[in-house]
Structure 1
């Protein structure tokens, strides 16, 4: 039996793992890669396996970094069933069409720029027709019920506490005839113990091998009550109100937006902050909110969400024109728009219009991967490039890590220990290297350092009940480990261009600027040789 790691290796996106037995090939997740351009280019390249050979796909949840390449898998030949919880299937019914629409829009913009520079046009990764075919292949499954997904392979879902419908996947896979099946557990993304709309994550005990996320493996958050979380949000809102400008909140359209809406409405209803208009500027968020309302009975505090949706100050944008009109509004108002890392969607347009205004406030409420616009803002970049335009950051940029959908290091450690005894290996995925190393150090004491593995992209392991041996040359390696979870040359080039323009502007007079440019030209000529 082999376990292949084709995504989320030393980075936080693009989850994709394959279990290969003598009789079946089963994928767990097939996510889109986000982050630097070098990493995102993987989305356009061929899969490191033949999609037509895959017997089944199992999804842990609907977030695009776990489900976003499924239509490409179908486009490239996958015809098997897709197993997911009912809520995940419902959310994918909104999220995958939205992903295709965003690609089509961004490719149109890119092709206009390519035409100006004499470059060939590019095509979207997939289109709506591939999404429609994908949705027909879904097979919704219940939590805690064993389901046969392929010959000799069965799975059951456990609540992961991360998102509506999110699950950890327990898998029993037979390999040799007559031998007992291997028990594998894929954590998916694990929610924190105090998440607003979700119960605590759960899972089975006594598995053979465990694949665990490590997003916040280097972070321990102090316990925060609902009142303390809302008080922290209220402080940001009151400061934004004093500035008399927009409060922009880049947010994942699914669950984070709904959580923020519940807390913002609670603050306004209790007069903790002055009531103001709240715009949910995301077609996906609007549709996802309908799914959340339909599944409100499965959520903790689902009644609060229903009440927030009916609040008189909440508005959902209905069109692109309505979205654009928000940038002309004056005075305090709230705009929540996707994407949460500022790397796609309508939030980029709002940031382009508002970052240069001192009265604006940007509130980051989720993980910001290396190489994303959100990460640059979080780290205090004084100037950024958005869609080819340079923008001075004059807005106030704030961060609240109280709405994370991911467990912190202590919660991850407790979850892993409760899954024991783990007979074989614990594979750490879905984390940047510092977080992964920190979690590995935490787990080394109770588990033993030799049993913790940090796979690299496209690495393959041969499994037995209590061991995992790397298989050299079993799959082509698409990117070296040092290229993942880091800024790339595209990011460095953008920063260099910004720095050059800054330096030129700081020079007084035409002669000084010309002298600086001549020095830069000589440096470039010397580099050429």
Structure 2
């Protein structure tokens, strides 16, 4: 078995993509979008470092766009194999990719309107038709069931506790001397609302492990929840809005869960709450169809008086007109909108309308990659440019790290330590020095070999 690294492999946390050769076949693990600066995102247009038509099967760890965002491009460029993923991931994937295709089409249209005479026409990365072709290749799987995906290659998925349907991938090359590769995908935090805790890694000959927060621990969750409540109190006194950039899958639903759980002690009845993300609204339907994946506490909440997706003062902004109407409110609104790193989506309009207001508060509740607007704001930039305007940042910026969907350093070390074996590790999906710090800790505690992946690097097991 050979593994070759092609994405989220050189000190980056987006663009997850790893090629496995096993039993004479080629299996791709994830095919994610590269996110961040304009220069980083331009790399999505580049040819793959492998022939898409040569890939026999694709396995997806979960439905976040940095893990699935280039799958339609793979299909467009010749991939004709099956796409294996957990059942909930298969339900989420078309929602995520149709949104990405729509954004790509709109961006191409704007670019073509602005291009000079004689310049070549800009084509979108992929279209909605490409997404439909992708959807037809999906092969849904439950957790824990072995599946032969190619002759001599079997697959089993385990719950990663990151988002609904997120999976730890166990890939086995059968034969006289079987070899097992485990890919962590993104490992969730223990105690994350709605989701079950991540399962321990199965025995493996090699473990590909994410390292997003390899150099730090999150704030304790109860302290984080208390911090959120205090932000709402301060914002109410300041008279402004609260803008929360949030991913449509996972973070938006978790926020609504906390709103329901603390509706009275946070005095949320005094606020107008908006979920400004048509995609997040569709995702809520997927959550409702997969309550079998909820933890026991979430199942209890869903049967309670205040259901997270049906709060009395929650409004879902479906249309552009609904979204524009929110921006007429200068105070008293909690606005949860995509995207989570503020690099696209409706949240940019809400930031454009609130960043210059001293009474406004902006709350970041997830990882902010280098080059994104979210990272600039978290790092304290005092002026940003949005929709052609220079905007002075007068709003208060908060980073609430305890709501991260990723395990922190302690969680990652605990997860590895709970495994059925002590395999060598290749760290992926992490910036430097985060993964360097995690590598040192893993070696110090377990004496194992730890390698930092690099694009094009090959590893045999």
Task: Count matched residues.
Answer: 455
Contact 1:234 1:273 (C-alpha < 8 Å) held by counterparts:
no
CA deviation string 1:411-463 (max 9, x = no partner): 1011112225334x3000101011101101111113336x11101122222x1
Deviations 1:477-507 (A, max 9, x none): xxxxxxxxxxxxxxxxxxxxxxxxxxxxxxx
Other-structure match for 1:155: 155
Counterparts of 1:320 and 1:303, CA distance in 2: 35
Instruction: Tell whether the 8 Å contact from 2:270 to 2:332 is kept in structure 1 after alignment.
Output: no
SS at 1:46 equivalent:
coil
Distance 1:452 1:293, change over 3 A: same
**Where does residue 433 of structure 2 map in the other structure?**
434
Query: 1:257 offset after TM fit, Å?
Result: 0.3
Which residue of structure 2 aligns with residue 517 of structure 1? Answer: none
Contact 2:246-2:366 within 8 A present in 1 as well = yes
Residue 247 of structure 2: which of 230, 249, 252 is its match?
Answer: 252
Residues 86 and 140 of structure 1 are in contact (CA less than 8 Å); yes or no, is this contact kept in structure 2? yes
The alpha-carbon distance between structure 1 residues 115 and 246, as it changes in their structure 2 partners (threshold 3 A), is farther
- 1:325 deviates by 1.7
CA distance in 1 between partners of 2:263 and 2:241 (Å): 16
- Identify which range, 436-445 or 349-358, moves more after superposition: 349-358
1:406-445 superposed matches below 5 A: 406-423=406-423, 425-445=424-444
How far residue 342 of structure 1 moved from its aligned partner, in angstroms, is 0.5
Task: State the distance in 1 between where 2:30 and 2:55 align.
Answer: 12
Q: Are the counterparts in 2 of residues 187 and 213 from structure 1 also a CA contact under 8 Å?
A: yes
Q: Does 1:37 pair with 2:38?
A: yes
Deviation of 1:316 after TM superposition, in Å, equals: 0.5
Computing the radius of gyration over CA atoms, which structure comes out larger, 1 or 2? 1
CA distance in 1, matches of 2:313, 2:242: 15
1:228-284 Cα shifts (integer Å, max 9, x gaps): 443211101111111212111000011100111121233333454453111110110
Aligned to 2:50: 49
Cα distance in 1, alignment partners of residues 105 and 125 from structure 2:
9
Structure 1: how far apart are the matches of 2:216 and 2:106? 37
Unaligned runs of 5+ in 1: 465-529
1:132 counterpart residue number:
132
Q: What SS does the corresponding residue of 1:356 show, helix, strand or coil?
A: coil
Q: What does 1:175-186 correspond to in 2, within 5 Å? A: 179-186=176-183
Deviations 1:24-83, CA, capped at 9 Å, x for gaps: 000111100101222212211111111111110011100000011111111111111010
Q: Which of 296, 299, 322 is matched with 2:291 structurally?
A: 296
Aligned-pair distance for 1:22?
A: 5.0
Distance 2:116 2:402 in 1: 44
Structure-1 separation of matches of 2:75 and 2:218:
40
* Structure-2 change in CA distance of 1:222 and 1:380 (3 Å): closer
Three-state SS of the structure 2 residue aligned to 1:57 is: strand
Instruction: Tell me the residue number matched to 2:235.
Output: 240
Distance 1:238 1:277 in 2: 14
For the pair 1:350 / 2:350, whether they are aligned, the reply is yes
Q: CA deviation at 1:90?
A: 0.5
1:337 Cα offset (Å): 0.6
SS, match of residue 458 in structure 1? coil
Q: State whether residues 160 and 191 of structure 1, in contact with CA within 8 Å, keep that contact through their aligned partners in structure 2.
A: yes
CA offsets 1:138-181 (integer angstroms, 9 cap, x no match): 0101111111111211110001010100000011014xxx5312
In the alignment, what sits opposite 1:474?
A: none
Deviation at 1:320, TM superposition (A): 0.8
* Distance in 2, Cα, partners of 1:125 & 1:256: 26
Deviations 1:292-328 (A, max 9, x none): 1121232121453571222210001121111112111
Q: 1:279–1:273: structure 2 CA closer, same or farther, 3 Å change rule?
A: closer
Q: Does 1:105 align with 2:106?
A: yes
C-alpha distance in 2, partners of 1:80/1:272? Answer: 52
Which residue of structure 2 lines up, in the alignment, with residue 457 of structure 1? 455
> Shift of residue 402 of structure 1?
1.7
Closer, same or farther in 2 for the Cα pair 1:302/1:315, shift >3 Å? farther
1-structure distance, mates of 2:445, 2:262? 43
| Contact kept? 1:293, 1:305, Cα under 8 Å | no
Relative to structure 1, the CA distance from residue 22 to residue 141 in structure 2 (aligned partners, 3 Å threshold; closer, same or farther) is closer
TM-score, length of structure 2 as denominator length: 0.95
Counting only pairs closer than 5 Å after superposition, residues 260-275 of structure 1 correspond to structure 2 as 260-270=255-265, 272-275=267-270
The within-5 A match list for 1:318-397 is 318-397=318-397
Query: 1:443-482 counterparts in 2 under 5 A?
Result: 443-448=442-447, 451-461=449-459, 463-464=460-461
- The aligned counterpart of 1:215 is 212
2:193 is the counterpart of 1:196: yes
Alignment of 1:219-234 (within 5 A): 219-225=216-222, 228-234=223-229
CA distance in 1, matches of 2:236, 2:106: 34
